[in-house]
A and B are shown apart, each in its own frame.
Chain A
């Protein structure tokens, strides 16, 4: 019995150690964002909010935040507009090639970002999309479609089929049924999906890396700052991104669970 509890202790100990490994780096970033020193050395001697004030006067960085937010909103909107009707059709009807669409829509997530990135870089100019922020937004729409379609398909599957039937029986037209019955019922799932899309777009690098020209998005601005050398300002912006994206993701998970 005694050896059993030692084993038990060993499993719990190593599991908690791995969990600490997953959170230690994030804790380091948050902690050192309050470090007054320029070098991230142990132990911290003075705490200060200095790097946060540096951050809010960094014009380049603030502009990149604006760029990222704009791209995230535009690409999420387009992905919703083309993704939700498609998911609805895929849920409602069986047709040839449904499985193929299912596979293709997931390609930007399943295939390596580097190949997707260079493929878009090579082909986009042929359809008149110059390598620019427009190209970045189009690239984001493409991978956000994967998120919208899978999330919405999952939501439609949980929807009560009698709801739609009842609407038709009461004489509603298909479009009235969609806008007045189905849409209000999947509202929370859509909000959850929007949050997820915004976070993913704000963080995206592999595709953005190849399609960008000129103005940086937020992650690429951070990348540029890192290449210039480590500045504790990156700790501060990282802490803010971490807090915002964690809040958005937790909210999104919660909304997706609601009926």
Chain B
């Protein structure tokens, strides 16, 4: 009894903290999504599906969820395409200073989000680095307006911020491939591209899927990139939630949309986990 008590005494502060400041808040927005609002925007407790009905019937909500999902898929694909050569190069071509190269990919992850987003503002701006460079080099004679404050700049920023998240699991997957398998493929006469397509890529697929999932999920939940770099027509679902809790002040609807985002993310993670399992079975077949 005494030992049992001591054990839990050490664990309890964390458990209590997480319950009060994390689990209860999550439960509360679930409950709040069934509340109603009166004409003055005041939240009235109750049990109603009104918010969900509104979320599903208005294309501003349901449409934006799907549009954001499309953007997220695009961001994930670009991140994977950028990560593949980088991860491949460090895993198979770089012989010296591998740890240093790995640190180079991981480091931007830890650099302040706001700084990395701000960088694109001075690069893509009307009088920014890229436009003035183009004019200086006589590639264009007028500044390109759509570089900044557009969906384009938002996507560029998200790709930039999320690429390290995708590159790390892909690199780890490449590193885990036994070098003997690659040598065997080469000995049997496969070219380097065939080896990549038939040996390296299938074996690294679980890593590629988990990297892509990171990009997908993080884009779904990002509200800062669109806020900082987006144009008047750039609307991501997180910005709608942020507005519903801010200026629009419709917390039940905001909670409902938030719950829908969470459900979609859980679905994506579940599908990805199944796909990872399915393709990692290749590994045991290859024994």
Chain A interface residues (CB < 8 Å from chain B): 4, 7-8, 11-12, 14-16, 18-19, 21-26, 28-29, 32, 39-43, 81-83, 85-86, 88-90, 93, 95, 101, 104-105, 107-108, 111-116, 118-124, 126-127, 138-139, 141-142, 145, 149, 174, 199-200, 202-203, 205-206, 209-210, 219, 222-223, 226, 230, 234-235, 238, 241-242, 245-246, 249-250, 253
Q: Are A122 and B129 in contact (CB under 8 A)?
A: no
Q: Is the CB of A230 within 8 A of B103?
A: no
Q: A118-B258, A122-B25, A122-B32 are in contact. Are A19 and B110 (CB under 8 A)?
A: no
A-contact bits for B227-270, CB 8 A (1 contact / 0 none): 01000000000100110010000010011001001100100000
Given contacts A101-B15, A145-B14, contact A203 B113 (CB under 8 A): yes
Residues of A within 8 A of B241 (CB): 114-115, 118
Find the B residue at minimum CB distance from A115: B258
Known: A26-B111, A28-B129, A118-B254. A138 touches B122 (CB 8 A): no
Q: Are A93 and B7 in contact (CB under 8 A)?
A: yes
Asked whether, in the complex, the Cβ of A15 is within 8 Å of the Cβ of B89, the reply is yes
Is the CB of B115 closer than 8 A to any CB of chain A? yes
* Contact present for B111 and A242 (CB under 8 Å): yes
- B5 contacts partner chain A, Cβ-Cβ < 8 Å: no
Closest to A226 in B: B118
The 4 closest A-B pairs by CB, nearest first: A112-B221, A15-B89, A25-B119, A86-B14
How far apart are A165's CB and chain B's nearest CB, in angstroms?
A: 17
Given contacts A22-B105, A112-B221, A226-B118, contact A245 B22 (CB under 8 A): no
7 pairs, CB–CB < 8 Å, chain A vs chain B: A16-B89, A26-B108, A26-B115, A40-B122, A101-B14, A101-B18, A118-B254
Report Cα–Cα, A113/B228, bound state, in Å. 16
B149-165: CB near A (< 8 Å → 1, else 0) gives 00000000000100110
B182 lies within 8 A of chain A by Cβ: no
The interface residues of chain A lying within 8 Å CB-to-CB of B20 are 127
Q: Is the CB of A29 within 8 A of B86?
A: no
Chain A binding surface, main DSSP class? helix
Chain B residues, Cβ within 8 Å of A43: 136
Other-chain residue from B7, B26, B191, B224 in contact with A206 (beta carbon distance below 8 A): B224
- Tell me whether B146 is interfacial, beta carbon within 8 Å: no
Q: Which residues from chain B contact A81 at a C-beta distance below 8 Å?
A: 13
Instruction: Determine if B18 and A41 form an interchain contact, defined as CB atoms under 8 angstroms apart.
Output: no
State the CA gap A203–B108 with chains docked (Å). 13
CB distance from A82 to the nearest CB of B (A): 4
Q: Bound state CA distance, A23 and B104, in angstroms? A: 9
Q: Does B11 lie within 8 Å of A89, measured CB to CB?
A: yes
* Given A120-B21, A142-B21, A145-B14: A205 touches B224 (CB 8 Å cut-off): yes
Q: Do B21 and A29 touch across chains, with their CB atoms under 8 A apart?
A: no
Q: A122-B251, A141-B21 are in contact. Are A115 and B262 (CB under 8 A)?
A: yes
Nearest chain A CB to B99's CB is how many angstroms away? Answer: 9
